[in-house]
């Protein structure tokens, strides 16, 4: 077996959860930094997202369904569940609530939850000189800042935390 590497994973969305599980399976020491209070990344719905006046971490909207059928949504060894009575939606394309429940179950069933530091926002990462170690600076929910060193860093923070709204030139016309 290869030596254990102290590894930071930034983000507890789908990519971060799978990376953390696989790293741990290989015997590495893993710490996951997640700035929100739960796993799921972009699949965590915040109702204030539906307001155009409040900026939130995430661009998920209330009625969002996936663009992949449920048969393709799972992981190789952790399939996406069939529709059940707990979810009203028997459609082929699951609603965001089902995806979040799936990710939370994955994190629980594989022991990833115990690796996650919730409310820990990574503010800076840099390679330390000749040591080959990475410094990770993170802010706790109380505003305090801490720094830790790791031998490896996985960045899995996604790119959907800010909605992409196009700017369309011209005057807005209202249809009556």
* Residue 14's CATH number: 3.50.50.60
Q: Do the Cβ atoms of 10 and 33 come closer than 8 Å?
A: yes
Q: Do the Cβ atoms of 16 and 156 come closer than 8 Å?
A: yes
Q: Do the Cβ atoms of 65 and 96 come closer than 8 Å?
A: yes
Residue 160 lies in a domain: no
Full residue range of the structural domain in which residue 32 is found? 6-155
Residue 118 lies in a domain: yes
Residue 93 lies in a domain: yes
Inform me whether the pLDDT recorded for 3 exceeds 80. yes
Residue 166 lies in a domain: no
Tokens 């939606």 belong to 89
Question: How far apart are the C-alpha atoms of 116 and 55, rounded to whole Å?
Answer: 25
Domain count, the chain: 1
Residue 25 lies in a domain: yes
Residue 31 lies in a domain: yes
pLDDT band at 53 (very low <50, low <70, confident <90, very high): low
pLDDT band at 168 (very low <50, low <70, confident <90, very high): confident
Residue 48 lies in a domain: yes
Greatest mean pLDDT among 57-61, 129-133, 160-164 lies in 129-133
Distances (CA, A) of 164 to 35, 122, 157: 21, 23, 16
Q: Do the Cβ atoms of 102 and 79 come closer than 8 Å?
A: no
Residue 168 lies in a domain: no
């Amino acid at each position: 077996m290869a030596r254990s590497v102290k590894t930071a994973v930034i983000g507890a969305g789908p990519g971060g959860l799978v990376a953390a599980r696989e790293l741990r399976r290989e015997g590495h020491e893993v710490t996951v930094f997640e700035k929100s209070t739960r796993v799921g990344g972009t699949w965590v719905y915040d109702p204030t997202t539906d307001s155009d006046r409040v900026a939130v971490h995430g661009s998920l909207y209330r009625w969002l369904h996936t663009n992949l059928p449920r048969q393709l949504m799972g992981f190789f060894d952790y399939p996406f569940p069939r529709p059940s009575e707990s979810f009203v939606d028997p459609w082929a394309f699951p609603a965001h609530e089902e995806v979040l429940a799936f990710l939370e179950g994955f994190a629980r069933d594989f022991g990833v939850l115990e690796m996650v530091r919730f409310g820990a926002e990574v503010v800076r990462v840099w390679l330390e000189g000749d040591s080959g170690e990475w410094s990770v600076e993170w802010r706790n929910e109380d505003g305090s800042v801490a720094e830790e060193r790791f031998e490896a860093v996985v960045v899995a923070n996604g790119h959907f935390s800010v909605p992409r709204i196009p700017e369309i030139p011209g005057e807005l016309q209202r249809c009556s």
